Amino acid sequence: MADGEKVKNRWLVVVGALLIQLCLGAIYAWGAFTGALQNPEGLFKYTDTQTSWIFSAGLASFALVMILAGRLQDKYGPRIIAVIGGVILGAGYIIAGFTGTSFPLMLLLVGIVGGAGIGMGYVCPIAACVKWFPDLKGLITGLAVAGFGAGAFIFVKLAGSWLHLIANHGVNGTFVIFGIIFLVTVVIGALLLSNPPAGYKPPGWNPPVQADGSAKPKVKDLTQGQTVCTLQFWMIWLAFVLSAGCGLMVIKCLKNFGEFEGGLSAAAAGSALGLLALFNGMGRVVWGTASQKLSARGSVILMCLLQAVMTFMLIKMGSTPLTLAIAACWIGFNFGGNFALFPLLTLENFGGKNLGANYGAVFTSYGVGGILGPVMAGRVYDTMGTYKTAFIIAAVACIIAAVLGLLLKPITAKTE
């Protein structure tokens, strides 16, 4: 049958996923613009608070829109929803390029509209890839989101040292160029997405069995409404807040920590941040693959504990380029794991039929963590003149996240 012919091309879905995520990950490239936006002798003269608000608005819009996008994706399929996301994201940046220096318009177009486009597109490739690759769920989920981390690295370099877009075309011109890239690339990637035929199984693969040879019990497919009423949902949600909030906090303050407290040059501290973005993408693939042996729950526990250790150690690692780079790689690697493991944890607990809607609900935690982590670090620094106390708080948060994972139990007929 016609749908069956798509089976041999299932890797095209992964290609589409990577194209989409490379562009969506540009939200983490916001730091490439802040220097020009905050230059007191430049056109914009924005404050640090203003540029932070644009970034935070993008994260919040991203997370909130995913609630709706997940439901729409489950209903209408990944292709059309991802196309809409690409159009919204691209249009937001392109229009922002023609609005001069207006902070409210940039907050609206780059922050809220751009974030909404990311939220529309983000869950689509994840949900599609999991359905096409039941035999490689962990690896494929990692690949599906790896582009998000790598995209930040690429777009930072395009704006700066590779093509010098901001230097040559200004902030507004770079917005237009990025917007066109986002629009074209996301739409092309979206056209490669599809859901497999009902009952699809990869050739030669059979569902896993228990030790006695019987089929493993299938996780019950819960709707979004049923999912948010379970204790498991809120444990997963809070663990994601704490784990992601720690990573986002470090992303926000790592460069400043290296410069202001470690005495490093701006170039050395900036290089560490670039490595964090690169290892963010690598961590998504490696942790997704590890989950196939450890389970998503076991991997989340280990990842959060490793992150806690390094966040504690970061206090003493900001004074040399090498130690700061090691810390950045470690933290970026584990931070990236969140985005491979929490979709799988959602799948393990609530089933695959409504994964888009359910992970959309879980992902609201990312928006909360994106506000709490960076704001906490900023408040601590303004009060105490150091980020070190913030690192201790974040490390404790990761330990709590690991404990939540340890206490997480599968949904049974009784708890349901």
* C-alpha to C-alpha distance for 47 and 37, rounded to whole angstroms: 8
The letter for the amino acid at 306 is: L
Q: Please say whether the beta carbons of 85 and 119 come within 8 A.
A: yes
- Of the candidates 12, 8, 48, the one whose C-alpha atom is nearest the C-alpha of residue 31 is 48
The full set of domain ranges for the chain reads: 3-191, 224-407
In angstroms, the Cα distances linking 179 to 110, 182, 223 are 10, 5, 35
Angle (CA) 304 391 50, round 5°: 110
Domain 224-407 classification at class level: mainly alpha
> Which pLDDT score, from 0 to 100, does residue 328 have?
94
Architecture of domain 3-191: Up-down Bundle (1.20)
Which residue carries 């030790």 as its tokens?
A: 211
Give me the average pLDDT of each 10-residue run along the chain (416 residues): 54 95 89 85 88 85 92 94 98 97 97 96 93 92 86 86 93 98 98 91 80 64 95 98 93 85 86 86 94 95 97 93 95 95 95 92 91 84 89 96 96 60
Q: What global pTM score does this model have?
A: 0.85
pLDDT number for residue 51 = 83
The rounded radius of gyration (Å) of the Cα atoms in the chain is 21
| DSSP symbols for 178-205 | HHHHHHHHHHHHHHT--PPPTT---TT-
Establish whether domains 3-191 and 224-407 are of one fold. yes
Residue 229's φ and ψ, nearest 5 degrees, are -95, 0
Cβ distance 239 to 403 under 8 Å? no
| Predicted local confidence at residue 4, as pLDDT | 42
> Around Cβ 271, how many Cβ atoms within 10 Å?
18
User: How far apart are alpha carbons 336 and 330 in whole angstroms?
Assistant: 10
Helix, strand or coil, per DSSP, at residue 50: helix
